[in-house]
Amino acid sequence: MTCKKPIDEKTGFDISEEFSRLDQRNEIYCRSEWDEEIKSKNATAFFSSHYMPNARARKADGFGQKDYALRNATWHVTNVLRDLRRESDDRKEGFFDTFTAQDDGWPEPYDFSSPEEATGNLRRAAVSMGVGLLGVCEYDERWVYSARYSERTQESKPVDIPEDLPYVIVIGEPMDIDLTATVPSALSGSATGMGYTHDTVVLLTLTQYIRNLGYRAVSSMNDSALPIPLAVQAGLGEVGRHSLLITEEYGPRLRLGKIFTDMPLVIDQP
């Protein structure tokens, strides 16, 4: 694998020769499940509190029953899709694995006159679906995980994104600014939850649109690849000092998703 690429001059990425792809097992949320240095009762309690019987409501602004009720409701759709194949196939879709809740689509690709026409159609469809931001970049294997994480075995497993899909569509879904302003309350998690819900719905819908046009498309949220460098390469923003994506439209206040596809598209510039 080539550590440095010409695109790095445009993004400002300084990639060292020691660079290697990330195994998702070493990502901090995964480590909270298996790494004794990270794993803690507080981490376990935080995750379990996203289900109402486990929420620890108390008499403090932003931490009451109503606050947890809203926060946990905003995660419901994402959690349902996450758990569809969790027990049967060891897939935690949207977080450790790509989404598979898609139809096959059309058997032959639609004949666009040019990548410009295809990209214009994609953007118009995305607007109708409520996409906040959308950019396109070339597939870059550096940002794809070297392996996924298996929740069942707590070990690594192969990444299932085909390497012959040349384009990545990166979308950004803004989070509610008023709810975000209540950080660190439980209520603020409602902005995160709805951000993920919008991300999930848009990813599945836009991916199905591409499949219906006869092209291959694989949708990915937190899983399988690093979204921030892909978002920078797709022209959505730049990396801030806090290591998050900063956009002109929403600052860092958005959730990211990506679609890997062979639909002929015009790439954006960082």
Domain tally, the chain = 1
- The 10s digit of each residue's pLDDT in 33-81 is 999 999 999 989 988 999 999 998 998 999 999 999 999 999 999 999 9
**Is-contact 213 110, C-beta < 8 A?**
yes
Tokens 């899909």 belong to 165
Please report whether residue 3 resides in a domain. Answer: no
**Is-contact 148 161, C-beta < 8 A?**
no
Tens-digit pLDDT profile for the chain (270 aa)? 778 999 999 999 999 999 999 999 999 999 999 999 999 999 899 889 999 999 989 989 999 999 999 999 999 999 999 999 999 999 999 999 999 999 999 999 999 999 999 999 999 999 999 999 999 999 999 999 999 999 999 999 999 999 999 999 999 999 999 999 999 999 999 999 999 999 999 999 999 999 999 999 999 999 999 999 999 999 999 999 999 999 999 999 999 999 999 999 999 999
Kindly give the residue spans of alpha helices, DSSP state H, lying in the chain: 7-11, 28-34, 41-48, 65-74, 76-82, 86-89, 115-128, 177-180, 189-212, 227-233
Q: Got the DSSP string for 142-159?
A: GGB-SBEE-TTTSSEE--
Residue 105: per-residue pLDDT: 96
Write the CB contacts of 129 (distance below 8 Å, at least 6 apart in sequence): 201, 202, 205, 206
Please report whether residue 100 resides in a domain. Answer: yes
Strand partners, 176: none
Please report whether residue 1 resides in a domain. Answer: no
Q: Got the DSSP string for 74-108?
A: HTHHHHHHHTTTHHHH---BTTTB---------SS
Please report whether residue 8 resides in a domain. Answer: no
The whole domain housing 77 covers 17-261
Closest to 70 in 3D by CA, of 187, 182, 183, 181: 187
Task: Count the residues in the chain.
Answer: 270
Angle between helices 65-74 and 189-212 in degrees, nearest 10: 20
Residue 242: per-residue pLDDT: 93
Q: What is the dihedral of CA 22, 10, 1, 226, to 10 degrees?
A: 20
Please report whether residue 6 resides in a domain. Answer: no
Please report whether residue 174 resides in a domain. Answer: yes
Please report whether residue 4 resides in a domain. Answer: no
Tokens 């990270």 belong to 38
Please report whether residue 9 resides in a domain. Answer: no
The span from the CA of 131 to the CA of 134, in Å, is: 7
- The 10s digit of each residue's pLDDT in 198-225 is 999 999 999 999 999 999 999 999 999 9
The span from the CA of 19 to the CA of 160, in Å, is: 22
